[in-house]
Structure formats: C-alpha cells, structure tokens
Structure 1
C-alpha cells in the first residue's frame, strides 16, 4: 500500500515530517538528514551537539515509525519521493541547503536533489551519501521484504543491516520489523535513472560494509558535477555510530567551504 498525502505533503492528519519542527531563522545553512531503512530520526539524536549553531539541521521523519507509527509506511519508492519532494520544496527558504543520508537515506537524498532541480528549485550545496552508492550496493529484493520473520531476522543479523542496539533488543526489533519490511520494499522498487546531480557529492562508508561491493563509491563520479571523494572508516554498515564526530566534522568542513564559495 502506498501512503496517501494531502496538499501540504504531510501524510495523514497531524503528520510531522521534520524533527525538530522549528529552526533558528538566523542560521546560515539548512541541513536535512535522511534515515536508513527501518529507522527514524533517533539515529541522528547526537548530531545536534556535533554541528555548529550556524547550521540548522532537521531530521526527516518518514511515516510508520516513532511518533508517526500510526501512519501507513510507504512501500514504493516513487510515491515516497513525490511526497518528500513536495514537502522539502515547501520547506525551503532563501538559505542554502544540503542533504545527508545513510543507506536508504542516501538514495533518497540523491534522488530528491535531482528531482528538485528538475522542478526548477536551486540545487543543494552538497549531497552527502553514507553507506550507499548508485552502483555496487546490494539492493534488497521484494523476496527479502517478504521473508518469514525468523528468516528476515537472520538475514539482517548476517548483513549487519540494523544497528547492534536494535538487533539485540527483542522488544525494539519487534517494533522495527514491520517498518523495515516496508523500507525494503521501497528500496526493491527503486529504478536507477542514472541521474547526474548539479551539485557536489561527498561519500562516507565502512571499510567492512557487507552491503557494499569493493570500489562501489567510485560510481558517484558519473552522478555529479563534482565528486569530492570518499572517506572510509573502520567498521561495517553502521560504522557511523562510532565515527559520527569525524563524519560530522568532515561534513561541516565541506559545507562551510561551499557556502563561503557561493557568496
């Protein structure tokens, strides 16, 4: 089932796409953070203390999780992108903006950047992609989304495709599984349009990520006007949990340079 959206791009009554919902109007840059499959805004819970006050960050909360658990989750990529495109476009103001996403979130960030520009919006100053590349990523199939729960649990354990604190918490895992199934279906329905975004892209990844084939991040070179390279860290798919400080420091360095150059 595809989640319905109203005229404002908010899914269902009282739907909330952003956390925090309000930002400081005096900040110089807006940063939108997109979560990985099966997760919500809580994966970025520590980022507020890692980013400078000049950057207004907002985590994108998708339907079907956390405070939006009562809303139907999207199960197809294109309807989700359409809803996000409408929502992000309505949120943009005169300030420059940037996207950061991990895994499915990186794919959403990349596709949205291309879609917004096609709609006549100015491009983000940067798309930062973590744990995903347009080629060389082990994209889930609909068969994965439909696996019996025991098999699905074993698959995500084998791949390390959920954070350790989720995989080892039975109560939390039980809540995550339905959302994860929906997100796996979203990823399985994605079509690679081989779009080239008119803004810089920087990537980050774990050295032992089982979801990435060797050299996958190099595929970004053909998808952007300016590939700023890949930073690789010790760890698997969720390397970012241990290296958030280093990732955000590098991200901020790029953002500050790009914003200054655009003035």
Structure 2
C-alpha cells in the first residue's frame, strides 16, 4: 500500500535521468513555469551525471495543490525533501531566475542545518542584489497586465497568449511565484560551495552590475558567463553552452574532492 505522505514528497521530484550515476544535479524552474523547462537538458548531460528536476506545487501534474507565496517556508519545505533524498553522492544545484533564488537559499538552509552541501551552485538570471523584483502592488493588477508584462520578458509565446484556457491554468502559478520573489529579503548569507553565474546583457530584470553581488557569497566565485544579445530567457537559446560549462565545472569539483 502506498504511503500517502511519501507520495506527496515524491511529487517534488521528477524521476532521475540516470539513477546509477555517480553525481547528480537538482534543477529548479523559473517563475510561472514547471519542471518541463528542462526537457532539453538530459540528452546534453553525460551518463555519469544524473539530472533531477524539482516540481513546485500548483503546476503541471501538481496543478491542484496549494502554492507557496513566501520564500522562507518554500525553501524550508524543499530543504526537508532534499535532506531526505540525499544519499551521499556529490550533487550540484542549478536554477534560473526564481529557481536561482530558491537554489541559493536552499544551499544556505542546508548549511545551517549541517546537511551535506552541494559541490557547486549555478545561478542563472538572478542575483541577490540588482534583480528587479516586481513590487507587491504590481502583483495585484488585472490578468491582462500580468500577461503583457510576462510576454514582454519573452516567457509567453503567442500560442499561449491567444489560448484563454492555457492562460487561466498558468496565471495562478505566475502570481504565486512572483509573490515568492517579492518576499525575498537579502541578508548577505554566504554558501559553503563554489558559485558560477549566467546572465544576459539584454535582460530587463537584471541590472548590469548585479552579478557582482555574488562575489562575497562564496570563497570560490567561478565567474559570470555573459550572453550578449540575449534577454531574460536566454537559458533556452543557450542550453548547449550552459550545460557544457556547468558539466565541466561540476566534474572538476567532484574530481578535486
């Protein structure tokens, strides 16, 4: 008989791509999306590294579950799940936008609990300072305004914008996730692992100097990879470049342990 508590916990994790791999990467999606944004990653990751996407409630197969609107309880809950999932293998954390925020705070939380830390943190399109989080009042505007804003970032293709049913399914998660981002208050916390960052020079949500705020967050900042001519969702256009760089760094960290 299936344990209902375990079943709920399992919904946080998509299946591992290579359960027997020596190393794995936990992937966190951006606001308003779901784990499917990483569907193109597995074929680009070598067999000795397994990827596992985290699926937040309120979207895709978790559509009917209650969503989080505050970053602290969300991170604490994910930390509970990750702690139970860790099996001694070295692992990395990667996230884009809200996913980078969650990955960073998760790494801080695990360190404070004395849990096994990741060997590498990858943060894309987000920084502790210089990220233009929508103010709380912007989150209360009519749906069409949120759609217009999201479309301007490149996150909503015309096929979605012109589909009222798709918009109605996506909008609650978008609003909840934006509240998560707006609830974040920076405390300058550092993490016990190297950090590598990725950004784009045409990203309207990230100030040009924002990635410099990562430097004091670790004793080993591995630098920022800047993609020129790209907007906020460069992760989709530059999937091959990002995965190749992240895998190279991850293998280096595992080899040096």
TM range, smaller chain:
over 0.9
Q: Sort the Cα spacing of 1:155 and 1:176 in 2 relative to 1 into closer, same or farther, 3 A.
A: same
Residue 132 (1) aligns with residue 126 (2): yes
1:80-95 equivalence runs, <5 A: 80-95=74-89
Query: 1:140 Cα shift?
Result: 1.8
* More moved, 160-169 vs 29-38: 160-169
Contact map agreement 2:57 2:67 (CA 8 A) in 1? yes
Query: 1:205 Cα shift?
Result: 1.1
Residue in structure 2 matched with residue 45 of structure 1 by the alignment: 39
Residue in structure 2 matched with residue 227 of structure 1 by the alignment: 221
| Alpha-carbon distance in 2 for matches of 1:190, 1:29 | 30
| Alpha-carbon distance in 1 for matches of 2:140, 2:31 | 15
* More moved, 176-185 vs 141-150: 141-150
| Alpha-carbon distance in 1 for matches of 2:185, 2:67 | 19
Residue 206 (1) aligns with residue 200 (2): yes
Query: 1:15 Cα shift?
Result: 5.8
- List alignment gaps of at least 5 residues for structure 1: 1-5
* Structure 1 or 2: more helix by fraction: 2
Q: Sort the Cα spacing of 1:69 and 1:15 in 2 relative to 1 into closer, same or farther, 3 A.
A: farther
Residue 253 (1) aligns with residue 243 (2): no
Residue in structure 1 matched with residue 176 of structure 2 by the alignment: 182
Query: 1:164 Cα shift?
Result: 3.4
1:238 pairs with one of 214, 233, 237: 233
| Alpha-carbon distance in 2 for matches of 1:41, 1:182 | 16
Residue in structure 1 matched with residue 149 of structure 2 by the alignment: 155
Contact map agreement 1:33 1:101 (CA 8 A) in 2? yes
| Alpha-carbon distance in 1 for matches of 2:198, 2:160 | 23
Residue 141 (1) aligns with residue 161 (2): no
Query: 1:166 Cα shift?
Result: 6.6
Residue in structure 2 matched with residue 19 of structure 1 by the alignment: 14
Query: 1:25 Cα shift?
Result: 4.2
1:173 pairs with one of 160, 164, 167: 167
Query: 1:173 Cα shift?
Result: 2.9
Residue in structure 1 matched with residue 212 of structure 2 by the alignment: 218
1:197 pairs with one of 187, 191, 203: 191
Contact map agreement 2:127 2:210 (CA 8 A) in 1? yes
